[in-house]
A = this chain, B = another copy of it.
Amino acid sequence: MLGRSYESQNCSAARALEIVGERWSLMIIRHALFRGITRFGDFQRSLGVARNVLAARLDLFVEQGLMERQPSSENSAYHDYVLTDMGRELQPVIMALTHWGDRWAAPGDPPVVFRHEHCDGEVRQQTICGDCGQHLAIDEVKAHPTASSMSLA
């Protein structure tokens, strides 16, 4: 029996990847978040994703609570796939991935820049200590297992 989850891993990143780690998942969320796409056909056209895969992903997103299926308008037979809070809160993940990609995977002018809606300033993500407020470099961050992670090997 093939494993398709990360069930031996006791970390929330593994749990997250079980939901959004499959091919096209984050791209679909990205298009919903930043291009406002909600319709099946629009996702299909703008992403070039296979219809059976798109249908399966959207089903999973609805089932897991990242999206809701809503009628496109009153009495419409068609529906929109609308992000919930759970889905919208993937924004920092997509932004982090995009910033990394800007620097390392697609250097040169970035195709897309994230901006503050009201003043057009460029958006930054910062890693901060919650106690002393200091900006943290990569080497200053450590992962501490908590009590709840000790119950597994």
Binding site for B on A (CB under 8 A): 3, 6, 8-19, 21, 23, 26-27, 30, 33-35, 47-48, 65, 86, 88-106, 108-132, 134, 136, 138-149
Contacts and interface: CB of A to CB of B under 8 A. Distances in A.
A70 to B, nearest CB: 18
Contact of A141 (B95, B139, B142): B95
A53 B131 CA distance: 40
Contacts of A136: 116, 123
Contacts of A65: 104
Contacts of A139: 117
A144 B92 contact: no
Given A116-B142, A117-B140, 10 more contacts: A16-B106, A21-B26, A89-B138, A92-B96, A95-B141, A110-B146, A113-B143, A121-B130, A122-B129, A122-B130
